[in-house]
Amino acid sequence: MTKKSKRTSKNIVRRVKYLQKSKLEKEIIAGNNPIYLSDSDRITYAYKRNRENKKISEVVNVSLEIKIKSKWLTIKRYDSSHGFLHRHTRVSIGDDSEIISVAGVKKSGKHSNWLTWSIKDIKAKFWFYKRAFLKRSGINQD
């Protein structure tokens, strides 16, 4: 006779932790080293890739960071942690809360398409994102 484990909350937590750990071991996080554009602007790309089939399994972080008063602030960030690509937008220098949105974000395709799309988006709209953030923060760039 086999002993059946009880479905206690402690056992469920243990099981979830085990599944999370085994999932992590199957994936490798690549990228995650920022690329400097200037001494006060940089971009970071990080994604998860499955060790077995080599496919991109998650966009971890595609972000645009700027340095203001010796502090690096992430002003725009994409990730697909909930199974779909979405955008995080920092409100302003003084307000570190984020607006999470899928408006105008690529919905079709897979994680690899989303990674390419977010890299292109940050590149294409770099100046727009930066100017908009500085404007929201009350800083005039002119």
Sign for the CA dihedral angle at 14, 56, 114, 75 comes to positive
Query: Which residue's CB is nearer to another protein, number 17 or number 131?
Result: 131
DSSP state for residue 112 in the 8-state scheme: H
- 111 contacts another protein (rule: CB under 8 A): no
User: CB 1 → another protein: shortest distance, Å?
Assistant: 47
User: By CB under 8 A, what part of segment 56-95 binds another protein?
Assistant: 56
User: CB 56 → another protein: shortest distance, Å?
Assistant: 7
With both helix axes pointing from N to C terminus, report the angle between 111-124 and 126-136 in degrees, rounded to the nearest 10: 70
Structure tokens at 96: 């570190």
Query: Which residue's CB is nearer to another protein, number 50 or number 92?
Result: 50
Question: For residues 111 and 115, what is the distance between their CA atoms, to the nearest angstrom?
Answer: 6
Structure tokens at 39: 């001494």
Residues in the site for another protein, rule: CB under 8 A? 28, 30-39, 41-43, 45, 47, 49, 54, 56, 115-116, 119-120, 123, 126
